[in-house]
Amino acid sequence: MIDGRAIWTRNAVPKHSQYGESLRRFKGIEYRRWDPNRSKLGAALTRARQTQYELLPEPGDTCLYLGAGHGTSLSHLHDHVCGESNREKGRIIAIDLSPRCLRDLIHMSKKRPGLVPVLGDARKHSAWGIMVANRVDWLLQDVSQAGQADIFISAVHRFLKPGGKGLLSLKAASERWSGEGERAVFDAVAEQLEQAGLTIVERIDLHGLEDNHCLYYITN
Amino acid sequence: MWLWYDWRAAAVADDAGNILDQEEWDGWGNTDEVCNRMDIIAHSAFTPEAERLLERFPDAQPRIHGDGELPNANWPLPSSEALSALDKAAKLLSKRGVDAAAGDPDRRLEHLSRASEELRASYVTLEGRLVEWVGLFLPEARFERDRAGLARKAAEANSLSDLAETLDVSMPEQGPSEKEWKALNDWAHSVGEIKTRLERMEDSIRELASSHLPSLSILLGPLLASRLCVEAHGRARLARLPAGTMQILGAEKAFFNHLKTGAPSPKHGHIFMHPWISRSPRWVRGKIARTIAAKATIAARCDEFGGEIWNEDNVRPIEERVETIRAENPQPPRR
């Protein structure tokens, strides 16, 4: 699904463009272009040096997405994990706090079976944790709140299967500014993750595609 | 001994993970029922199954599914059919949550307030042009006192001479052509229409703000109260602001300029709209703004946290205080 520089995912809703991205048919199968400028996960896939597609879950996995937003990354993730009419039998639980975003996600979930939108605060597991009946294979957190690393660590401990993949998209501007620049913030978070017993597989700086952001790929 | 439970089952096991007893619920075909159970769990309460087991095993320590303290055991986890019923319920719950957002007065006020700002901006432009336009043809006419009435008069007039008669001025030698007059007349119609729409919109803001922020509305007037609420991103945040922030809410640009360059600090933000401030002499405005902002934070907190709703009696002493400040400072300070 890679073509030169661009990434493409097989469109689970044929002939439908989710957020204005381009569609292209290749050997009778329609693909959607994954815009790395709009999606942090897409940016990480473009920027990763050692891992690239290992970042993504396997088709058919159960995934948890904290801070789904308007569903740009989520739609591509769904293409990959569930596919058309959920042929891969995947399951994605998408949590977001804002009713405005959930409105878009609910519309999307009608066309994309396997996608479960949940209205809730990523920090408050007790309110929606029960929706995640079994531990998940893959977890992505993309929230812009202070203490992102703490939220991520507790979510990994609570929801991620041993040996699962966890991705933390960290926005430096949401953390307390120590005055030493974003590099210092990124280093401090890396240390915090390792102290919590997580292994950082790769740390991907998204500079240029998504400024002041860094994506950590970890396993537990 | 441990009591494990999730939304559809509960089980008791000893520390080694041997299941002693379990209860399951099979009513998950009904999505509404599943939603009710999600509510129970979201409020950290026990499901009926967990309660029954807890009666039988009062020593068991109840822990929800996923809790780190639970021992490994063969817990009665849901089947894939039950899981898809859960997904359905999750979607329904989210939909309800999104629907509930429509009842959120903060969001409704935000749309109303921003819309009326936009409408007012276009009203001022359109009305300004109408005055200039009519003034070009009828240079003798003066509308300082009745600018709003001009739109109505120009819309009702059949021709320029008709309008000149209504305004009691003489006709110029060079008048507009038939089509040009028609265009001017249409313009006057739209000015009048926008005025009506604006009034309707502000009425609905007044209504909503008076119910959402009754105390603050009594003190500052509903329009200013709603503007502050929108600027603070909701009543919950407004009620938590310190008075100093309330005072300069809406003057962020001047405030950050002050921090950056050391320029004089702003004395008032949106609160300047209040006649106690805007109708006062320049040198007491800061003092009055400080007093009103301090009282406004209290009023906002009364509204948010269910305090006693203010009435005229609460406002009168504040008005007296404002009068005192004015009386104490009749002259501008000397430098």
Looking at every residue in chain A, the average pLDDT score rounds to 88
- Say if B220 falls within a structural domain: no
Structure tokens of A34?
């994954």
Tens of pLDDT, residues B83-135? 888 888 888 988 888 888 888 899 999 999 999 999 999 999 999 999 999 88
Number of compact structural domains in chain B: 3
Residues 147-206 of A with CB under 8 A from B: 157-159
Residue-level pLDDT at B293: 96
Percent of chain A residues topping a pLDDT of 90: 38
Residue-level pLDDT at A177: 72
Instruction: Write down which residue in B168, B190, B206 finishes a domain.
Output: B206
Q: Are residues B161 and B187 in the same domain?
A: yes
- Say if B223 falls within a structural domain: no
Q: Are residues B74 and B23 in the same domain?
A: yes
Please give, rounded to a whole number of angstroms, the shortest distance from the CA of A123 to a CA of chain B.
Answer: 13
Residues 2-21 of B with CB under 8 A from A: 6-7
Nearest to B98 among A102, A132, A157 (CB): A102
Tens of pLDDT, residues B54-87? 888 888 888 888 777 888 888 888 888 888 888 8
Cβ-Cβ contacts under 8 Å, B41 against chain A: 126, 130
Q: Are residues B128 and B200 in the same domain?
A: yes
| H or E element, residue B64 | strand B61-64
Q: Are residues B82 and B125 in the same domain?
A: no
**Predicted confidence (pLDDT) at residue B138 exceeds the cutoff of 90:** no
Tens of pLDDT, residues A95-130? 999 888 999 999 999 999 989 999 888 888 877 888
| SS3 of B205-257 | HHHHHHHHCHHHHHHHCHHHHHHHHHHCCCHHHHCCCCHHHHHHCCCHHHHHH
Looking at every residue in chain B, the average pLDDT score rounds to 90
Is A106 in the B-facing interface, judged by CB distances under 8 Å?
yes
- Say if B88 falls within a structural domain: yes
Chain B's closest residue to A110, CA to CA, is B91
Tens of pLDDT, residues A199-216? 999 999 988 888 889 999
Higher pLDDT, B45 or B236: B236
CATH number for the domain spanning B253: value is: 1.10.246.90
Tell me, which fold does domain A35-219 have in CATH?
Rossmann fold (3.40.50)
User: Model-level pTM?
Assistant: 0.77
**Spatial distance between the Cα atoms of A73 and A144, rounded to a whole number of angstroms:** 16
pLDDT bin (cut points 50, 70, 90) of residue A4 is low
Instruction: Write down which residue in B102, B127, B147 finishes a domain.
Output: B102
CB atoms within 10 A of CB B179: 8
Instruction: Write down which residue in B85, B102, B119 finishes a domain.
Output: B102
Residue-level pLDDT at A3: 65
CATH number for the domain spanning B156: value is: 1.10.287.4070
Q: Are residues B110 and B199 in the same domain?
A: yes
Question: What's the domain range around B242?
Answer: 234-328
Reference A47, options A165, A205, A219; nearest CA is: A205
Reference A117, options B6, B82, B92; nearest CA is: B92
**Predicted confidence (pLDDT) at residue A146 exceeds the cutoff of 90:** no
Q: Are residues B28 and B115 in the same domain?
A: no
Please give, rounded to a whole number of angstroms, the shortest distance from the CA of B212 to a CA of chain A.
Answer: 20
pLDDT bin (cut points 50, 70, 90) of residue B144 is confident
Tens of pLDDT, residues B170-199? 888 878 888 999 999 999 999 999 999 999
Q: What is the ipTM of this complex?
A: 0.80
**Predicted confidence (pLDDT) at residue A2 exceeds the cutoff of 70:** no
- Say if B154 falls within a structural domain: yes
Nearest to A99 among B65, B78, B97 (CB): B97
pLDDT bin (cut points 50, 70, 90) of residue B45 is confident
pLDDT bin (cut points 50, 70, 90) of residue B266 is very high
**What integer is the mean pLDDT of B326-334?**
89
Tens of pLDDT, residues A29-79? 899 999 888 899 999 988 887 777 888 999 999 999 999 988 899 999 999
Cβ-Cβ contacts under 8 Å, A95 against chain B: none
- Say if B32 falls within a structural domain: yes
Count of positions (residues) in chain B: 335
**Predicted confidence (pLDDT) at residue B295 exceeds the cutoff of 90:** yes
**What integer is the mean pLDDT of B205-213?**
95
Higher pLDDT, B167 or B288: B288
In chain B, what is the straight-line distance between the N-terminal and C-terminal CA atoms, in Å?
80
| H or E element, residue A219 | strand A213-219
For the four alpha carbons of B224, B230, B232 and B234, in that order, the dihedral sign comes to positive
Percent of chain A residues topping a pLDDT of 70: 98
